Chains A and B, each alone.
Chain A
Amino acid sequence: MTDHPAAPAAGKAPAGGPAEGALLSVRGVDVGYRTGRRTRVTAVRDVSFDLYPGQSMALVGESGCGKTTLGLGLLRLLPRTGVVSSGEILFRRKDGRLVDVRTLAREDLRRFRWNEAAMVFQGAMNAFNPVLRIEDHFLDTFRAHEGGRRRPRKEILEQSADLLTTVRLDPARVLGSFPHELSGGMRQRALIALALALKPQLLILDEPTTALDILTQRSIVERLAELRDELRFAMVFITHDLGLAAELADRVGTMYAGRMIETGTTRDIFYRARHPYTSALINSVPPVAGDLTVPQSLPGGPPSLTALPPGCSFAPRCAHAVDACSHTRPTLDVLRTRTEGLSHAAACLRTHELLEGATRD
């Protein structure tokens, strides 16, 4: 999937372009970080997927597998040292035009962000500028995306109040508050309200509920699910919490060492996982449904991105690895074809042999 010419003209469907009707088509994306004058480490490698309007996809995997990097890369929000070094991020805008986020010019990119795709960050504790009131954050956001006539402050604040109400916050109290006057849960809701301000088509959530207590997590997740059904935005959410993924996602992508190693519907992943890593991940937490089994831990950690094994990256930790695994890199093969990006695919040489072992019903 990496043989596309770089930088296709926006608007024209590039070779092997987006799937029909997809909102977001990611094609062979690599994301690298500069680590020295001439050295670079590739944190995300050759990731491709199609996301359709209204779908929600969970990205799961251990820390350091490239989930957050991929999320940031989709909006080109990487830190200074990071860059999307190849591939295409094709996005169908609200006006129907197809753009490659990777080649958007500076001002186009600015207008694209938040208006088409918004992001809710890991631990919203610091997502708000400590010296500005919540209302100023709304004003800034609306005004940055509204050309022409400057809308009166009052009008924007009324709209902001409505948004806060949709996430069950009391606008009268929250709008005039400074971020430090709100609790973590309130800040996270306020950020979600802010993210929905411009009615984006895509919402990227990077561990939206980590660092929150379990009851607050619950209410935020429930509200998020309701809002998605109401507003029909697509979601990509990055999480360590498999329970959350099972609940909120239509589909799941497992990442390991920067690659997407298994994708499928939530049912596929949780009941018929076909990659040993996905199975191990699922077996390491108590089951979402069914009898309580003893969780099994997965020893070791992901390999260093600077010294990946030549074959399957997971082979050194894999209980089912054979000789071939350490020198042949498996490709992401489709196991069951479905439409709208819901096909089940796994990157494992022994997928077929291990079918029974990895099944859990």
Chain B
Amino acid sequence: MATEIAASPPPGAGDATSARTDAPAPPLRRIWNHYAVVKVRKALVVVFVVANVTFFLGRAMPGDPIDVMAGRLTQNGMTMEEARAVAMNSLAYDVDAPLHQQWWDFLVGLVTFDMGNTINRPGVSVMDAIGAYLPWTLFSIGVGTVIAVALGLALGMVMAYRRNQFLDHVLSVAASVLGAVPNYLIAMVLVVGGGMYLGWFNPIELRGTVSPGVQAGFNLEFIGDAFFHASLPILTYVLAIIGTWMLVMKASTTEVLSEDYVTVARARGLRDRRIAVAYVGRNAVLPLVAQIAISFGTLVGGAIFVEQVLVYKGVGGLLLDAVNYRDYPLLQGLLIIITSCVVAANLVADMLYSRLDPRIRD
């Protein structure tokens, strides 16, 4: 810092030495790209590792698809031998293929994006089966997350601004209760309470993903119907995670409110709204960005129960079937794709973070 004094004659000449010293103009952009590339590479490694874990974990479960199906057939009076023969004929699974052979096929499939056919639904490819169910899950969870996060952040901020006042106490209790109740229980309460006792809606009509006869397409009728059927799952997801978001945002905002730059902003006579948005809000949300992706991932896991309770034809039921009937390819495909979605959400959060916080850009 000695230069600050020594070089005082030409104003500012010796100053500013420490600012952006190592930043020649064009590479800034390349560095940013590089940062993104590194993140994507890491994400791919994660997906690959998870994919291999699913492969071995599935096969580590007791019994294989033939055993499971044969087991069910013997309950109808077949002998074990007969049942096994029938199962082997009707299922597309070769029990005698050695594990390393199966693994090699799996790896090739992974690289070529061909996960093969399902075992229990002969002729249906894994990709088709997933493609028919996954969009509904992603849709309901995506909308639910967006609503819950937006509302939770807003309410959390209100709580922090009014901390220790009546509104804060009420919202804090509500948020803690919501955060503690498991999501499938919320779904049950919604159906039983709102649908049956209060009669606000007919839970039978709400089942499924679209009403019969409605054609898929980019039109108001279809979109409206999709939202109608997804309303209960979305509401469930919102209620399930909004409490946590409120409390986390309250804590984060409270911390930011005590920062010097907020006091200085008040001293500078800035308008309250400007301080709340650009000084408090933006800094309070920063550390939470990464959690949005985590929250999304947790919800995908929780969807299995919620979709069962609400009879919503998402990926939850499919996953349950795949586990129950040891449908290895389907199980693998599902887990890999769900993992990829969560990893992708994390990646987006990471990128967003680097855009929002100038301190981690380099």
| A residues whose Cβ falls under 8 Å from a Cβ of B | 75, 77, 79, 110-115, 118-119, 121, 123, 125-132, 140-141, 144-145, 164-165, 168-171, 173-174, 177-178, 180-183, 185-186, 191, 194, 213, 215-216, 218-219
Are A168 and B274 in contact, with the CB atoms below 8 A?
no
In angstroms, how far is the closest chain A Cβ from the Cβ of B16?
4
| Complexed CA–CA distance, A185 and B4 (Å) | 9
Q: Could you say which of A123, A131, A141, A177 contacts B268, with CB atoms under 8 Å apart? A: A141
**Which of B13, B259, B265, B267 is within 8 Å of A75, CB to CB?**
B267
Q: Is B359 an interface residue (CB 8 A)?
A: yes
Give the nearest-CB partner of B265 in chain A. A129
A169: contacting residue among B12, B259, B265, CB under 8 A: B12
Q: How distant is the Cα of A79 from the Cα of B271 in the complex, in angstroms?
A: 18
Chain A residue numbers with a CB within 8 Å of B356 are: 131
Pick from B19, B261, B286, B357: contact of A128, CB below 8 A. Answer: B261
With a cutoff of 8 Å between Cβ atoms, the chain B residues found around residue A144 in the complex are: 268-271, 274
Is there an interface contact between A115 and B261, defined as CB atoms closer than 8 Å?
no
Q: Complex Cα distance A112/B8, Å?
A: 34
Across the A-B interface, give the 5 residue pairs with the lowest CB-CB distance, nearest first: A170-B12, A126-B260, A113-B269, A173-B16, A114-B269
Centre residue among A77, A165, A181, A218 by max chain B CB count within 10 A: A181
Most buried by A among B5, B258, B267, B274: B267
Residues of B within 8 A of A165 (CB): 11-12
State how many angstroms separate the Cβ of B267 from the closest Cβ of chain A. Answer: 5
Knowing A131-B358, A178-B359 are in contact, say whether A171-B12 is a contact too (CB < 8 A): yes
- Kindly report which residue of chain B lies nearest to residue A132, judged by CB atoms: B278
Whether B269 pairs with A131 at a CB distance below 8 angstroms is no
Task: Give Cα A328–Cα B13 distance, bound, in whole angstroms.
Answer: 59
**In the complex, are the beta carbons of B260 and A219 less than 8 A apart?**
no
User: Assuming A127-B261, A131-B356, A169-B16, is B268 touching A114 (CB within 8 A)?
Assistant: yes
Task: Give every chain B residue within 8 A of A140 (Cβ-Cβ).
Answer: 265, 268, 270, 274, 278
| 28 A-B pairs (CB sep. < 8 Å) | A111-B269, A113-B268, A113-B269, A114-B269, A115-B269, A126-B260, A126-B261, A129-B261, A129-B283, A131-B282, A141-B268, A141-B269, A144-B268, A144-B274, A145-B269, A165-B11, A170-B16, A171-B12, A173-B12, A173-B19, A174-B16, A178-B359, A183-B19, A186-B18, A215-B5, A216-B5, A219-B4, A219-B8
Which of A121, A215, A219 contacts B264, CB < 8 Å? Answer: A121
CB distance from B221 to the nearest CB of A (A): 43
Residues of B within 8 A of A113 (CB): 266-269
Q: How far is the CA of A119 from the CA of B272 in the complex (A)?
A: 18
Question: Contacts of B49 on A, CB cut-off 8 Å?
Answer: none
CB of B204 closer than 8 Å to a CB of A: no
Residues of A with C-beta under 8 A to B260: 121, 123, 125-127
Name A168's closest neighbour in chain B (CB-CB): B11
Q: Determine the residue in chain B with the shortest Cβ distance to A198.
A: B269
Name the residue in B2, B258, B259, B268 with the highest tally of chain A Cβ atoms < 10 Å from its Cβ: B268
A79 and B258 in contact (CB under 8 A), knowing A185-B1, A216-B1, A219-B4?
A: yes
Interface of B is mostly: helix
Cβ of B270: which chain A residues have Cβ within 8 Å of it? 110, 140-141, 144
Contacts of A219 in B (CB 8 A): 4-5, 8
Query: In whole angstroms, what is the CA distance A20 to B35 when docked?
Result: 64
B19 touches A182 (CB 8 A): yes
Whole-angstrom CA separation of A267 from B313 in the bound complex: 86
Cα A140 to Cα B267 in complex, Å, equals 12
Question: Which residues from 247 to 297 on chain B have a C-beta closer than 8 Å to any C-beta of chain A?
Answer: 258-261, 263-272, 274, 278-279, 282-283, 286
B26 to chain A, nearest CB (A): 17
- Please give, as numbers and ranges, the residues of chain A lying within 8 Å of B15 by CB-CB distance: 168-170, 173, 186
How far apart are the CA atoms of A168 and B14 in the complex, in Å? 9
Q: Give the CA-CA distance A114 to B264 in the complex, in Å.
A: 10
Known pairs A77-B263, A174-B19, A180-B358; A168 contacts B269 (CB<8 A): no
CA distance A112 to B271 in the complex (A): 12
List A contacts of B274 (CB < 8 A): 140, 144
Alpha-carbon separation in the docked complex, A191 to B260 (Å):
12
- Does B30 count as interface, using CB distance less than 8 angstroms? no
- Whether the pair A130, B1 counts as a contact (CB closer than 8 A) is no
Q: Name which residue of chain A comes closest to B279, CB basis.
A: A129
> Are A168 and B8 in touch, CB under 8 angstroms?
yes
B29: interface (CB < 8 Å): no
Check A131–B286 contact: CB distance below 8 A. Answer: yes
A177 is contacted by which of B11, B20, B269 (Cβ under 8 Å)? Answer: B20
- Whether B269 pairs with A215 at a CB distance below 8 angstroms is no
User: Contacts A114-B269, A183-B19, A216-B1 given; 10 further ones with Cβ under 8 A?
Assistant: A77-B266, A110-B269, A110-B270, A113-B266, A131-B356, A140-B265, A141-B268, A168-B4, A173-B16, A173-B20
